[in-house]
Chains A and B, each alone.
Chain A
Amino acid sequence: MEFFKQFAVPHPSFLIYGAMVSIGLAMLAIVVGITYFKKWGYLWREWITTVDHKRIGIMYLLTALLMLFRGGVDAIMMRYQLSMPENTFLDSQHYNEVFTTHGIVMILFMAMPFITFFFNYLIPLQIGARDVAFPRLNALSFWLFFMGMGLFNLSFIIGGSPDAGWTSYFPLANNEFSPTVGTNYYMIAIQIAGIGTLISGINFITTILKMRAPGMSLMKMPMFTWSAFIANVIVVFAFPVLTVLLAMGTMDRLFGTNFFTTDNGGMDMLWANLFWVWGHPEVYILILPAFGLYSEIISTFARRNLYGYKSMVASMVVISVFSFIVWTHHFFTMGQGALTNSIFSITTMAIAIPTGVKIFNWLFTLWKGKIVFTTPMLYSVLFIPLFTLGGVTGVMLAMSAADYQYHNTMFLVAHFHNVIIPGVVYAMIAGLTFYWPKMFGFMLNERIGKWTAWIMSIGFLLSFMPMYITGLDGQARRMSTYSEAAGFSMLNMVSFVGAGIMAISFVLLVYNIYYSIRYASRDIGSDPWDARSLEWATHTPVPEYNFAVIPEVASTQAFWDTKKNGHELFKGKIEKIHMPNNSGWPFIMACFFFVFGFAMVFSIWPVVIVTLIGILVCMAYRSFEKDHGRYISVKEIEETEAKLRGAKK
């Protein structure tokens, strides 16, 4: 019995018990449902063992949407708690847990898989390839990420959530001040997911460098692929820092080392420093692919080539270096000297320049364009002014002397939500709407889509603009309540209303999906938006081999030039296609990682050792395995092609 006590949630409430019951019921319903409809075999064959980049991408998407829901619920709870002074909806401990998980879930388990979904789905299609460079490794990346996500969310119902903030600064995160296993979950779950991300980074870089269609030089790649390339370069060089950092944090908590302690020479500031060495590039990992999506959408619906292609690329290359030398701006107040702060202040302001270049490029693309206001375009056009607002407040925060006033206030919270929501979230939804027909063969309803965009923007402005004001008036972030005399009540209530309106917009988004599944026309062809790059040159739905004949590319807007300027894309004839085999090993290995992580969290050493051996055996098995893939015959391809061509009409 004693053994099981450690798994109890240390500080429970009705909300947590309610969540436990509902999660339990939902799991049960899923298991019963799959069994009833006899779908286990289908699930295993078609999804769990798949190495197809499109299916892996869709699994990333589902994870991201699930986590968007969880992070969103956290957000609403926080806004409700702060909507009235002295509110008792959440006590301070629960508030700590909620803002911690909100941050991690939204950044690492919502935004990251969302962009990885786009990487997976789009990169091979945009460069005219049949899969990523290492399909099996791609499956492993997904499952590691998924297990890390699962482990992290388990903390909510077994052992208690992390509560030291998404940055988990020491000494707050050490055993003395965070005695529950929550922070162990943080260290280990993010570690596992992070390894998955790192592997997929390597995979995508290799894919982009080596698997482009003939004729597609680097400077003829679609802009999204460029942004994905740069983002993955940043992943590969930033995530190892996180790996080391989390390993050291784990050692401090589990093995009593003195990296971040306050005695025996330990240095708690080292955590903050290294966290942001990873954390700042991470911001650009999220925003660059979003910029890539906006570039695709804006040039498609302005019906013009993207203005300033070369300057777009150059600005991203500059960002890939600069994003690594601005990290101190997250802790200007930590106590380092004025010299250091000045240096990082200047680099921070400098990095706004390449971003500004991009904004002007989009504006010039729109100028004299034949603009078509579709839903994705509406999001993109809303993005430009809203994001610029966030950028400008960012430059305010970059001034180290002034930062002493803003630091850790709601002003900062307003700023980063102001860049992340119009920057990343809008891009994700715009991209989802844009590529939805490519994935599922029907379009989302435009009318509902536009309402969603407008409602979301109104909700966004109502939620976050008041925070700029309360922040400047001194409302600190991460405080669970405030007194009425502070005078923040009114604006916080507005903020809560705004959050509610945003929630409504997300409900509308879900309703739109439901509505479109029921009523949307399936007769849309393979190019419903009159788009410009290679992913639209193949059929909808995309066959598993992507392109029956590998395209030959002569310009940056390959598909557009085929349609309007008489370029010929598919010159070769159909030959047999080599494809990788499905494999269950990535999933099995990731399961070992999951149990390993869980055992680490609770320090159950025998299980740790057994699962570690399991992981190593999986690797050894892979080393000895012979797997040469399989071939799809010409006959099969011709049949598929004929069927898809028929379906197009």
Chain B
Amino acid sequence: MKVDNSLPLEYSTEENSLKILGFWIFLGAEIMLFATLFAVYFTLENRIGNGPSGAEIFEITPVLFETFLLLTSSFVIGLGIHAMRLGNKKATMVFFSITLLLGAGFLGFEIYEFVHYIHIGATLQTSAFTAALLTTLGTHGLHVILGLFWGLFILIQIKKRGLTPETANKSFIFSLYWHFLDIVWIFIFSFIYLKGMM
């Protein structure tokens, strides 16, 4: 395999740079996926049937925690990639671990939130609004769950195999995914929660 040492490790082979571009295009598709969910949500937002409305069920506290955790995790994984480029394996692993822990914390709050909604009678079946809300949040949450496993696998591979062009490439792509989930969350935070509580 041809390795170009003038580039960061994650770009160093042709295959690697293909994978990074391919993943960006996948993120393009993800933009549309979430855009469709937003289109659905905005359309059904006020169609609450006999169920509660957004203003009645949203709570600012867990949402603030979630936002803070995810923003921080996004920052930390950025540091992880920086450390990786410095060739510091240990720091990379520490930053990645923190990222995953913060992600797990986010997920904990989200699960709490879901249990809370179901408890107060805003289930998936209640109304068009609740279905759209829980599906949008759930899709983001599923992405985070998948990301946690993915990140964990990469962490194991870095530990076992060190920072090779392959593991570096996987880590970089994972970081793109994680930042993207953060961006999606920003939009959920702004246009579902804050707009709903306005």
Contact = CB atoms under 8 A, between A and B. Distances in A.
A/B contact in complex, CB under 8 angstroms: yes
Interface of A: 133-134, 198, 201-203, 205-206, 209-211, 236-241, 243-245, 247-248, 251, 255-259, 261, 263-267, 270, 274, 277, 578, 616, 620, 623-624, 626, 628
Contacts of B150: 623
A248 B32 contact: no
A240 B170 CA distance: 24
Contacts of A264: 49-51, 126-128
Contacts of A236: 25, 28-29, 32
Which 9 A/B pairs are nearest by Cβ-Cβ distance?
A265-B47, A264-B49, A265-B128, A240-B33, A265-B49, A240-B32, A257-B131, A244-B36, A206-B22
A175 B132 CA distance: 19
Contact of A243 (B33, B128, B154, B166): B33
Contacts of A266: 44, 47, 49, 127-128
B181 to A, nearest CB: 15
B50 to A, nearest CB: 7
B22 to A, nearest CB: 4
Contacts of B157: 623-624
Interface of B: 1, 17-19, 21-22, 25-26, 28-30, 32-33, 36-37, 39-40, 43-44, 47-51, 124-129, 131-132, 135, 149-150, 153-154, 156-157, 166, 170
Contact of A202 (B26, B37, B149): B26
A578 B15 CA distance: 11
10 contacts: A202-B29, A236-B32, A241-B36, A251-B135, A257-B125, A264-B51, A264-B128, A274-B36, A623-B150, A623-B153
Contacts, number: 118
B15 to A, nearest CB: 9
Contacts of A259: 40, 44, 128, 131-132
A608 B153 CA distance: 24
A240 B22 contact: no
B47 A267 contact: yes
Nearest to A622: B153
Contacts of A267: 43-44, 47, 128
Q: Is the interface of A mostly helix, strand, loop or mixed?
A: helix
B118 to A, nearest CB: 13
A447 to B, nearest CB: 45
Contacts of A243: 33
Contacts of B43: 267, 270
Given A256-B125, A274-B39, A206 B25 contact: yes
A577 to B, nearest CB: 13
Contacts of B21: 206, 209-210
B1 A251 contact: no
Q: Is the interface of B mostly helix, strand, loop or mixed?
A: helix
A201 to B, nearest CB: 8
Given A258-B126, A623-B154, 8 more contacts: A236-B29, A240-B29, A240-B30, A244-B37, A257-B131, A264-B50, A265-B44, A623-B153
Contacts of A201: 29
B22 A134 contact: yes
Given A202-B26, A240-B30, A267-B44, A255 B18 contact: no
Given A236-B28, A240-B32, A624 B128 contact: no
A257 B130 CA distance: 9
A624 B156 CA distance: 9
A205 to B, nearest CB: 5
A258 B25 contact: no
A265 B48 contact: yes
A263 to B, nearest CB: 7
B33 A255 contact: no
B125 A248 contact: no
B25 A240 contact: no
A274 B17 contact: no
Contact of B40 (A210, A255, A270, A578): A270
Nearest to A247: B135
A551 B155 CA distance: 41
Nearest to B134: A257
A321 B47 CA distance: 31
A211 B131 CA distance: 43
Contacts of B50: 264
Contacts of A274: 36, 39-40
Nearest to A207: B18
Contacts of A134: 18-19, 22
Given A263-B49, A267-B44, A205 B25 contact: yes
B28 A237 contact: yes
A86 B50 CA distance: 47
A221 B153 CA distance: 40
Contacts of A202: 22, 25-26, 29
B132 to A, nearest CB: 7
A453 to B, nearest CB: 38
Given A236-B28, A258-B125, A133 B33 contact: no
A628 B166 CA distance: 10
